[in-house]
Structure 1
């Protein structure tokens, strides 16, 4: 073939490629479907949540591989907060500066009043690559399950021996309150 023919073929291929690229749109506007499916699957199977008992174990064990981020307003945080938690109100977290305050290479446990705001923050953090979890029940769940007396049967914990549960709960409560109380 002649050089002119090759030039015409090359120009035609480039024209077709340019049209295809224009039809595709901006690459930044494309959402990776697998990331969305992964986030949905994590939430569907409850892998987005952490129970208060497990968080209490992490805190007592002092593993240092997680950070509790309390999304409540400063006044609520000042009334009571989980040991070692940082206060970053939800509206602050949703800013660029707020995201920079959240450690990227630690597990993040999100806490709000009842778990609803944590779910919204979880979606944002997971989509940005954070290993984030929602504290089940929020601060209310923490107070109900860790800081106030409960019975294993009330929590439907069928896989835990009630006596073992009572002892563990008593030890957790003593750790967080610094007191030794009888279970009621």
Structure 2
């Protein structure tokens, strides 16, 4: 067997890995590891099904939870092919976190990617202290990533009530003793420092400034550092914009989204870097391996050249499947219902679907 972390290390190092997904085609089409090849388990036992499998690569079998993939290793072994099974399947693959550090002058930004979903969190460091924006599970990894850079987490922030993943903000704040900051406009049932437009959050020698950026959710906040970096939550992505329909007020939210984008985020200087909380499938990071865009590049997104009325009409007409289990995840993140950590991988299974693009 191979863990998700070890598989990710092998993929990063290009260790000659062949990903064999043995789920049914409908499951594979919904959510997969990029580059994987789909041969359903039932077909693996048919004559000739393994003819095209490579004999010179490390075969890793994949399913939803690791059961079918284990059976697949035996099917392959009968034909002399060695393979390993991905522990926990796609469920635990969704829990693999990877960190890349960007250092510019006296600013340290650690971008944490949830590999299976494209979720992005950020650890921002200054003078030995750090603030974490939009952490995901498992929270212990953020402590590990921060410590590697000599940072102590003192503040934890959620930009908004997430719909596609369970927030680790409360647990991370409790584990570290850090202050928890949540938008006052999102109706949380959790104890926190309530953030409103214009608030500042201090750490080390720096401050983050909150700006109210509704459109994806009514109380979404983006956070600005040094007027050079904007952490935009789910409002503006590298490849698209936040969807306004997850609270069933699509037209009203789309109008607010237009105002947020054009009269707030795109008013920053062209060179300002924007760090989102997700990236979509197929989005390429910068040469540094970091996912971000600039205001200049964001202005070129197709939907952002429309007038308000046309923008609202177009955005409302775009239909995208909603995140799996999103209504329950919203309730969990709001603090209405508890969730055992062991249930989180299955709740989060599937792609992130918080953006829309042309």
TM-score by length of 2: 0.30
Residue of structure 2 in register with 1:75 after alignment: 26
The structure in which a higher percent of residues are helix is 1
Distance 1:58 1:134 in 2: 14
- Could you tell me which runs of 5 or more consecutive residues in structure 2 were left unpaired when the two chains were aligned: 97-114, 118-135, 150-277, 286-290, 293-358
Residues 66 and 147 (structure 1), Cα distance of their counterparts in 2 relative to 1, 3 Å cut = closer
Contact between 2:21 and 2:36, CA under 8 Å: does it hold in 1?
yes
Stretches of 4+ aligned residues off by more than 3 angstroms: 164-167, 173-181
Residues 175 and 152 (structure 1), Cα distance of their counterparts in 2 relative to 1, 3 Å cut = farther
TM-aligned CA deviation for residue 54 of structure 1: 1.4
Residue of structure 1 in register with 2:145 after alignment: 163
How do 1:15-54 residues align onto structure 2 when only pairs under 5 Å count?
49-54=1-6
Task: Say whether residues 1:147 and 2:116 are aligned partners.
Answer: yes
Residue of structure 1 in register with 2:73 after alignment: 122
Candidates 40, 48, 59, aligned match of 2:11: 59
Contact between 2:66 and 2:86, CA under 8 Å: does it hold in 1?
yes
Distance 1:137 1:165 in 2: 28
Residues 126 and 150 (structure 1), Cα distance of their counterparts in 2 relative to 1, 3 Å cut = same
Residues 51 and 105 (structure 1), Cα distance of their counterparts in 2 relative to 1, 3 Å cut = same
Residues 165 and 104 (structure 1), Cα distance of their counterparts in 2 relative to 1, 3 Å cut = farther
Point out the structure with max Rg over C-alpha: 1
Distance 2:31 2:280 in 1: 15
By relative contact order (CA 8 Å, sep 6+), the higher-ranking structure is 1
Residue of structure 1 in register with 2:50 after alignment: 99
Secondary structure of the residue aligned to 1:125 is: helix
Secondary structure of the residue aligned to 1:103 is: coil
Residues 86 and 61 (structure 1), Cα distance of their counterparts in 2 relative to 1, 3 Å cut = same
Map Cα deviations across residues 30-67 of structure 1 (whole Å, 9 max, x no partner): xxxxxxxxxxxxxxxxxxx111111112222223x220
Q: CA RMSD in A?
A: 3.3
Residues 164 and 86 (structure 1), Cα distance of their counterparts in 2 relative to 1, 3 Å cut = farther
TM-aligned CA deviation for residue 118 of structure 1: 0.8
Distance 1:93 1:120 in 2: 10
Contact between 1:152 and 1:162, CA under 8 Å: does it hold in 2?
no
TM-aligned CA deviation for residue 73 of structure 1: 1.0
Secondary structure of the residue aligned to 1:56 is: helix
The structure in which a higher percent of residues are strand is 2
Contact between 1:60 and 1:175, CA under 8 Å: does it hold in 2?
no
Residue of structure 1 in register with 2:59 after alignment: 108
Residue of structure 2 in register with 1:6 after alignment: none
Residues 152 and 123 (structure 1), Cα distance of their counterparts in 2 relative to 1, 3 Å cut = farther
Distance 1:166 1:141 in 2: 24
